[in-house]
Structures are given as structure tokens and as C-alpha cells.
Amino acid sequence: MPVRPLSSGLLRSNMNRRIPRLLEEAEAQKHSGSGESTVTSESRSCPTAAEADGFFDELRQELFCVREWNRKTALTSFELFDEEGNLADRQTAVVGDFIRLMMTGSGKYDWVRIIEIVNEAGEAIVTIKPSPDPTDKEPDKNVTSHFFTSDATNNFCLEKRDAVVSFYVIGLSEKTNTDETESLVGKARNVAVANIGSFFGIQTGEWKTFCKNLLRLTDQE
């Protein structure tokens, strides 16, 4: 039986996987002092590569449906807004959408914007970064409504290799927002949320819960 060659698109995606590069960047930041990075991950092995393919495709749909994230975390809620700042009337996120986050005990909403979505063979990524509040009547683009600065990104990465499906939450350039806020109260709040969350491991623990729930690992416990 003749072997069917890989399509150019599939070949390109396999040669240019984004997730290893993001992990390398996170590791480099730890040693460069250019910004704080965090990596949280979990993996699940499937009986066969074919079953891993089906599992990956199922999880890919959940990753792109932001409201499904509410089922994956314990302390954070998510809501999807379109690029105009209106509550989205669809389930699947697109680049340019905003996400409103509410962390228990944080005191206010935080906002991020989806800046990239990767949907390739064996790899699915949603990248978000802190943003202004799009629901403000006159949003100030210089004010970032988040406890991290607008330089930060969070990358939600789903990967399938052979019979293993993995999920990573990779945070890059996570610097506390003390300059891109409009008040001393906002500055103090951002320092408190970022530092307390980091010190007590709340953020890492929340993303660990996300990883486990997305991969259905809690079903195996």
C-alpha cells in the first residue's frame, strides 16, 4: 500500500510547534530577570494514539469555549465578551475577544484580551494578555485592568504527542501592575493580589486544578 505523504500544512505545523518554544522562553525568563514566568502542566496517557487523537479533538473544543473554563477552576470565573465589549452571543472564542475574570477575594474584575489562537495538528493554544476594561464608556488604553501589566501573557496550551495528551498554562513576563493603573487604590490592590497569589501559590494551584480537570485526571483519582 503506498504511503500517503503529509500535507504541507501538517508538515509545517509539526516542524514549527509553538509549545516547546513557549516553554523555552519561560525557562529563559527565569534566568534573565526580564520578567517572572510560570509553567503549570499535567499529562494523560491514552491506551492508543488513535484514542489520544479523539481525546485531543474533544478537549480542543472545550479549550476554545471560554465559558467551559468555569467547570475547570475552583476560585476563578470567566465570561466572554466580543471586541466591542459586549457579552458574546456565541460560545467559541475568536482573536480580539475579551475575557472578564473574577478571582475569589480579589475585590474586582480583571480583564484580558485574546491575542492569538493556534489550531494545528497536535497543538491548540489560546494566548491572552491583560487589557483595559472594554465595558468602560470611555476606555483608557493606557490603563490595564489587571494585576499584571500589559506585557504579560498567559498561554493555554493543549498538546498531543503519540498517545499522550498534555496541557500547559505558561505565564510570561508576569510583572505586577503598578504603573498602568489609574489610582493608588488600584495599585495597592494589584500588588496585594499578585504578591499574595504568588506567595501562597493560589494562582499556581488554580491553574493546576484547571489542568487536571481539563484532562479528566480527577476522574481517575
Nearest in space to 17 (alpha carbons), one of 125, 93, 115: 125
Q: Contact at 8 Å (CB) between 170 and 154?
A: yes
Q: Which residues contact 93 (CB under 8 A, 6 or more apart)?
A: 64, 65, 66, 80, 99, 114, 117, 126
> What CATH number does the domain containing 178 carry?
3.30.530.20
Residue 18 cell numbers, joined: 509553538
Q: Is the dihedral of CA 85, 90, 91, 92 positive or negative?
A: negative
Residue 105 cell numbers, joined: 477575594
Residue 97 cell numbers, joined: 475577544
Q: Is residue 129 part of a domain?
A: yes
Torsion of CA 59, 83, 208, 157, to 10 degrees: 50
Tell me the residue range of the domain where 128 lies: 52-220
Quote the CA–CA distance of 95 and 82 in Å, as a whole number. 9
Q: Is residue 71 part of a domain?
A: yes
- The full length of the chain comes to 221
**Local confidence pLDDT in tens for the 221 residues of the chain:** 333 333 434 434 455 799 999 999 999 998 886 668 999 999 999 999 999 999 999 999 999 999 999 999 998 999 999 999 999 999 999 999 999 998 887 678 889 999 999 999 999 999 999 999 999 877 677 788 887 888 999 999 999 999 999 999 999 998 887 775 655 445 544 444 555 444 345 678 889 999 999 999 987 65
Q: Is residue 109 part of a domain?
A: yes
Q: Is-above-0.75 flag for pTM?
A: yes
Q: Is residue 140 part of a domain?
A: yes
| Count of structural domains, the chain | 1
Q: Is residue 122 part of a domain?
A: yes
